[in-house]
Chain A
Amino acid sequence: MTNKHLWHVTADELQAYVADVAQTLSAASIEAHLLACADCRATLATVGRSAESTTEAMLRTEALWARVADRVDEPRRPLRSSNRTLHVSLASPPLLAATAGVAATLLVAVGVVSVVSPHWSFPVQLALAPLAPVVASLVAFQPGVDPAGQLAEATPLAGARLPLLRALFATVLSLVSGIAASAFSAMPLNMVALWLLPGVTFAAIIFASATVLNPTRVAAPLMIGWTVLVTDWSRRHRAVLTAETVRNLLTNEAALGWALIGVTFAATVVVYRRRDATPVWRL
């Protein structure tokens, strides 16, 4: 800085001048000074470049945010089509997360047991797999996961269609997980679907019970009972615990008969409970 001038324009004043927010008198004074002072002109050039680069950076950031916002709001095709065909029921993120979580638990549990004690991988898969759709369906019944939030709580619900669609979705996800889990338990692929039999029966009974009382009250004893049954059966047949034994257990006439009775009973209850489902809305 030279001594040629008694004062110099401060950086703040120059920034205000560049941004065109300086007071009129102040701007005139700065302008007059700049005409005479080379030092301040040099500083002005720096401030100008800095202001320009700041503006450019802000514009770049805004453009980036706009792109991010557009991306976030861009309709996701698979979910959008689910919305249309299945009345948005499958697009509930908590339901997706719960189902995926249950399926992942199944996969990890069977994988860990197959490493620690391969002998028990069949029973563990048999005990856990049917529970996956049940747990996911239970989550689907909770008001907190509904896309309509509290608005859904006071509605009569859409017959059995909506929960059944949710259960179907949960079951499909769980089936994928079951197929993956069979890689650890060495269960033949053609037997993977066997666990669907108790799974579907449980889900049907819980849906039927939901037309009368809180489904959790039915699901909890069902799940505990099933786990106890499988554990007890596995202990008693420990010596002959093979894939063939498991298949024989699930495909014997008594098991199939009980499953059929369970599903038929549940369907009858659902139909009976909804027999007067005539909407009274004034459309």
Chain B
Amino acid sequence: MDREFEFSGVSKRFGTSRALDNLTWEGSGQVVGVLGPNGAGKSTLLQLLGTVLVPDEGGVRIFGLDPTNFTQRLTIRRQLGYLPQTAGLYLGFSAFDLVDYVAVLKEINDRDLRRTEVRRVLIAVGLEADMHRRIRKLSGGMQRRVALAASILGRPRLLVLDEPSAGLDPEQRLRLESVVHLARTHGTVVMSTHHAEEVTALCQQVLVLDRGQVRFDGTPTALAATATGRVWLDDQADPRALRSRGSGNGEVRNIGSPPPGAQLVEPTIEDAYLLLTSEPGVPA
């Protein structure tokens, strides 16, 4: 399969801070999860994919096209769904009116087709009972789902979701998972998240970013495998560990270089992610 997107030596600065640093990456035809601590450059990466930012250095290609060229960017945007981290919706509209408006912006000009599509996406995100309520009256999670509905209009070939699960309760996150699964059948989905379990449940490819650089790019299984032999259980936090976290049954999972005789356990994606972002390593 052709690459859906490609980053070649991309750097992006905001003032003196470097959000992305000589990043090279590519992906296609699957659900890609982007993990990383706050300030790692996840949103900048997704904004570049969403064609709302241009790189300072290096090049981005989406569907083989250059998003800095007006005509090619137009072609990209006609196949793109983008959910920003903060949508900033106008609260005076109903959910239906707002999604209908975004459908107009997406050039879905046939009125009947557009209305049908707007209803479809609002139902897909579970807002069938609230679609005619003003956004101001909706909870934060519901407002997030309105924005999600607008981003999946037209079953885009590339769907870019910046922290789609932020503010969603567990039931809504399940709904999100079904939306992402469905979107996967139409094209590529790139989503940033802080939830490692979402990566396990949804993603075939995972990218770990740290300080603007790629620390890992591969499958979730391969990510977990990077911490093999580096996670051990104890009844308390080991001071020699790089990171320690409770396992829920009273035991503590210690991550780092295990002491002799340590009770090693199978690492999870979260263990591997914490290990990667805890130790200064060579970028992947």
Real binding pair = yes
Please tell me which one of the listed residues A79, A155, A282, A283 contacts residue B105 in the complex, with CB atoms under 8 A apart.
Answer: A155
**Any chain A CB within 8 A of the CB of B134?**
yes
Interface size on A, residues (CB 8 A): 34
For chain A residues 32-85, which have a beta carbon within 8 Å of chain B?
Answer: 73, 79, 83
**Any chain A CB within 8 A of the CB of B164?**
no
**Any chain B CB within 8 A of the CB of A162?**
yes
For chain A residues 148-184, which have a beta carbon within 8 Å of chain B?
Answer: 148-159, 162
Please tell me which one of the listed residues A91, A92, A147, A156 contacts residue B107 in the complex, with CB atoms under 8 A apart.
Answer: A156
Contact A158 B92, CB 8 Å, known A73-B137, A87-B100, A282-B154: no
B91 to chain A, nearest CB (A): 10
Rounded to whole angstroms, the CA-CA distance of A228 and B81 in the bound complex is: 44
Are B92 and A91 in contact, with the CB atoms below 8 A?
yes
Are B90 and A92 in contact, with the CB atoms below 8 A?
yes
Q: Which residues of A contact B102 (CB under 8 A)?
A: 148, 151-152, 155
Are A151 and B52 in contact, with the CB atoms below 8 A?
no
Q: Which residues of A contact B14 (CB under 8 A)?
A: none
- Chain B, residues 72-98, CB within 8 Å of chain A (1/0): the string is 001101111111101111101100011
B95 to chain A, nearest CB (A): 12
Rounded to whole angstroms, the CA-CA distance of A93 and B92 in the bound complex is: 10
Are B106 and A156 in contact, with the CB atoms below 8 A?
yes
Q: Which residues of A contact B137 (CB under 8 A)?
A: 73
Please tell me which one of the listed residues B82, B87, B154 contacts residue A283 in the complex, with CB atoms under 8 A apart.
Answer: B154
The closest CB in chain B to the CB of A281 belongs to: B154
Rounded to whole angstroms, the CA-CA distance of A279 and B117 in the bound complex is: 14
Q: Which residues of B contact A151 (CB under 8 A)?
A: 82-84, 87, 89, 102, 147, 150-151
Please tell me which one of the listed residues B92, B105, B186 contacts residue A148 in the complex, with CB atoms under 8 A apart.
Answer: B105
Rounded to whole angstroms, the CA-CA distance of A91 and B135 in the bound complex is: 15
The closest CB in chain B to the CB of A76 belongs to: B92
B107 to chain A, nearest CB (A): 5
Q: Which residues of A contact B226 (CB under 8 A)?
A: none
Please tell me which one of the listed residues B97, B147, B151, B155 contacts residue A281 in the complex, with CB atoms under 8 A apart.
Answer: B155
Between B79, B86, B105, the greatest number of chain A beta carbons within 10 A of the residue's beta carbon is seen for B105
Are B90 and A147 in contact, with the CB atoms below 8 A?
yes
Interface size on B, residues (CB 8 A): 49
**Any chain B CB within 8 A of the CB of A105?**
no
Are B88 and A87 in contact, with the CB atoms below 8 A?
no
Rounded to whole angstroms, the CA-CA distance of A279 and B98 in the bound complex is: 20
Rounded to whole angstroms, the CA-CA distance of A158 and B109 in the bound complex is: 8
Are A154 and B134 in contact, with the CB atoms below 8 A?
no
A282 to chain B, nearest CB (A): 4
**Any chain B CB within 8 A of the CB of A6?**
no
The closest CB in chain B to the CB of A282 belongs to: B155
Rounded to whole angstroms, the CA-CA distance of A149 and B82 in the bound complex is: 12
**Any chain B CB within 8 A of the CB of A15?**
no
Are A87 and B89 in contact, with the CB atoms below 8 A?
no
Q: Which residues of A contact B80 (CB under 8 A)?
A: 154
Q: Which residues of B contact A273 (CB under 8 A)?
A: 71
**Any chain A CB within 8 A of the CB of B51?**
yes
Please tell me which one of the listed residues A147, A159, A277 contacts residue B89 in the complex, with CB atoms under 8 A apart.
Answer: A147
Q: Which residues of A contact B87 (CB under 8 A)?
A: 148-151
Q: Which residues of A contact B90 (CB under 8 A)?
A: 91-93, 147-149
Rounded to whole angstroms, the CA-CA distance of A283 and B106 in the bound complex is: 12
Are A148 and B98 in contact, with the CB atoms below 8 A?
yes
Rounded to whole angstroms, the CA-CA distance of A280 and B51 in the bound complex is: 17
Rounded to whole angstroms, the CA-CA distance of A273 and B77 in the bound complex is: 15
The closest CB in chain A to the CB of B113 belongs to: A283
The closest CB in chain A to the CB of B134 belongs to: A73
The closest CB in chain A to the CB of B186 belongs to: A282
- Chain B, residues 160-183, CB within 8 Å of chain A (1/0): the string is 100000000000000000000000
Are B155 and A158 in contact, with the CB atoms below 8 A?
no
**Any chain A CB within 8 A of the CB of B33?**
no
Between A91, A162, A281, the greatest number of chain B beta carbons within 10 A of the residue's beta carbon is seen for A281
The closest CB in chain A to the CB of B83 belongs to: A151
Rounded to whole angstroms, the CA-CA distance of A151 and B109 in the bound complex is: 18
Are A88 and B106 in contact, with the CB atoms below 8 A?
no
Please tell me which one of the listed residues B75, B100, B106, B186 contacts residue A155 in the complex, with CB atoms under 8 A apart.
Answer: B106
Q: Which residues of A contact B81 (CB under 8 A)?
A: 154
**Any chain A CB within 8 A of the CB of B5?**
no
Rounded to whole angstroms, the CA-CA distance of A152 and B147 in the bound complex is: 11
Are B89 and A148 in contact, with the CB atoms below 8 A?
yes
Q: Which residues of A contact B104 (CB under 8 A)?
A: 87, 158, 162
- Chain B, residues 174-214, CB within 8 Å of chain A (1/0): the string is 00000000000010000000000000000000000000000
**Any chain B CB within 8 A of the CB of A212?**
yes
B94 to chain A, nearest CB (A): 9
A-B contact pairs, 15 of them (CB 8 A): A87-B104, A88-B100, A91-B92, A149-B90, A151-B83, A151-B89, A153-B50, A153-B52, A154-B82, A158-B106, A162-B104, A279-B108, A280-B79, A281-B155, A283-B116
Smallest CB-CB A-B distances: 5 pairs: A281-B154, A149-B88, A147-B90, A154-B82, A155-B105
